[in-house]
Homo-oligomer: A and B are copies of this chain.
Amino acid sequence: MSFSLTVLGSSSALPTSKRFTTAQVLNVHERFFLIDCGEGTQIQLRRFSISFLKINHIFISHLHGDHLFGLFGLLSSYNLLNRKSDLHVYAHRDLEISLEHYKRHFGSDLSYSIVLHPFTANKSGMIYSDRHITVEILPLRHSIPVVGFIFREKEKPLNIKKEVIERYDLGISDIRKIKEGKDYIAPDGTQVPNEKLTLPKLKSRSYAFCTDTTVFPRLVEKLKDIDMLYFEATFANKDKKLAKLTGHTTAQQAAQLARDANVGKLLIGHFSTRYKSITPLVLEARSIFENTFAVEDGDNYPVELQRNAPSGDLPRAGTDV
**A contacts, CB < 8 Å to B:** 13-17, 20-21, 39-40, 42-43, 46-47, 63-66, 69-70, 72-73, 76-77, 80-81, 94, 97-98, 101, 105-106
Contacts and interface: CB of A to CB of B under 8 A. Distances in A.
A73 B40 CA distance: 10
B65 A73 contact: yes
Contacts of A46: 15-17
Given A17-B43, A46-B15, A46-B17, A72 B65 contact: yes
Contacts of A63: 105-106
27 contacts: A13-B76, A13-B77, A13-B80, A14-B77, A14-B80, A14-B81, A15-B42, A15-B43, A15-B73, A17-B43, A17-B46, A17-B47, A20-B43, A21-B73, A39-B69, A39-B70, A39-B73, A63-B106, A64-B106, A65-B72, A65-B76, A66-B76, A69-B73, A97-B101, A97-B105, A98-B101, A101-B101
Contact of A43 (B40, B72, B73, B101): B40
Contacts of A17: 43, 46-47
A272 to B, nearest CB: 10
A100 B70 CA distance: 19
A53 to B, nearest CB: 13
Nearest to A77: B14
A93 to B, nearest CB: 13
A101 B77 CA distance: 22
- The 3 lowest CB-CB distance pairs between A and B, nearest first, are A39-B73, A40-B40, A17-B46
Contacts of A73: 15, 21, 39, 65-66, 69
A13 B38 CA distance: 18
A240 B17 CA distance: 37
Contacts of A70: 39
A234 to B, nearest CB: 13
Contacts of A15: 42-43, 46, 73, 77
Nearest to A52: B14
A40 B17 CA distance: 10
A205 to B, nearest CB: 30
Best-buried of A63, A69, A101 by chain B (most CB within 10 Å): A69
Contact of A65 (B16, B81, B94, B106): B106
Contacts of A106: 63-65
Nearest to A13: B80
A64 to B, nearest CB: 8
A307 to B, nearest CB: 38
A310 B70 CA distance: 54
Nearest to A46: B17
Given A13-B76, A14-B81, A15-B77, 7 more contacts: A13-B77, A17-B46, A20-B43, A40-B43, A65-B106, A97-B101, A98-B105
Nearest to A72: B69
